Amino acid sequence: MNIDFSKYPLPKRLRHHTSPNFYMPVNAMKGIPAYYPPVHEKINWSKYFINGKIPDMLDIGCGKGSFLFQIALNNPDKNILGIELRLLPVQWIEGVIKGEGLENAGVMWYSVVNGMHFINDVTIDAAFYLFPDPWPKKKHNKRRAFNQNLLKELHRILKNDGKLYLASDLKEIHNYHIETLNSSGLFIFEEIINDSNWGLPVTNKEKFCRENNIEFYRLKCCKMVQ
């Protein structure tokens, strides 16, 4: 099955960046802005998946959903949930899912800095965190969603044989991922050079990097079980 995206024109005012507030957890703000993504504690999964089942995989920062759609099509027996900060891409992805009748794909407008309490322990097969917004300036490092809190949440929700996949086109961010993983002590990981050892669909960002000879970096992480 292939999706004819010409049936789903993208919003004209679709921007790459969003409000910096979205990278701050609600417990760190004096007041929650009206435009802030909803914070969830419990979820009725029938709202996100036509089949009503729990997610098996997570695409954190799913953007315009090309990777999300391909994973869903390649794994019809698995539910994949995309999590995205920007509302317009979420609404567009919802339109594609509805139009194509994709039972195993769902998307949520949400900021993972607030945790993922709505996902039960040891239920996720794989989580993807690919080419995130880097926040390269030192003064903006606190806005990076990839931190010890996120790793603790991912460790909690991943199955014992679950995998975490990371990618970036910036060496600084790649090194930051490695340092954060090492500090956590929650995952063992390997850098992936060969595509055959990666085995995932190509994201829009990876495609851009390949077409423009831009180096990119990938890590496959395995949950450590005590």
56 is catalytic: no
> Which of 4, 121, 125, 133 is an active site residue?
133
Q: In the block, which residue shows the tokens 């317009």? A: 88
- C-alpha 22: how far from its chain's center? 15
- By residue count, the chain amounts to 226
Contact 224, 187 (CB under 8 A): yes
Alpha-carbon separation of residue 9 from 1, 91, 96, 109, 217 (angstroms): 19, 12, 10, 20, 31
Contact 130, 82 (CB under 8 A): no
Catalytic residues, by residue number, are: 133
